[in-house]
Amino acid sequence: SMQRRLNRITDSSHDHQLLDLIDMEGFDPKEITVTVKDGKVKVLAEHGEERTTARGKEYTYKNLTKEISLPVGLSEDQVTWLL
């Protein structure tokens, strides 16, 4: 069964205030990129797979892009995330 993964992006300076919770089901941690730049947190994830079936090859691809603006007064180095 597919394990459900959640990505929590938090403000580490204010008792770990939750900025966002993103459902990352179906993505492996190595397929996820999180960057904090220009006052925004950007989450990019891409997953592709190829399967061979009786009818031939099947390709599956999915991606996720999410951008979160940081609250006023929160510096980029105060943001942490968990996969």
pLDDT along the chain (83 residues), means of 10: 46 62 86 89 92 91 91 79 73
In the chain, the amino acid numbered 57 is: K
CATH tag, 29-71: 2.60.40.790
Distance CA 42, CA 11 (A): 15
pLDDT at site 45: 93
Can you give the pTM of this predicted structure?
Answer: 0.70
Given a contact cutoff of 8 angstroms between Cβ atoms, the answer to whether 68 and 44 are in contact is no
Give the pLDDT of residue 5: 44
Per-domain residue ranges of the chain = 29-71
Burial grade of 82 (CB within 10 A; 0-12, 13-18, 19 or more): exposed
Q: Which amino acid is at 51?
A: R
Sheet holding 32-37, edge to edge: 32-37, 40-53, 56-69
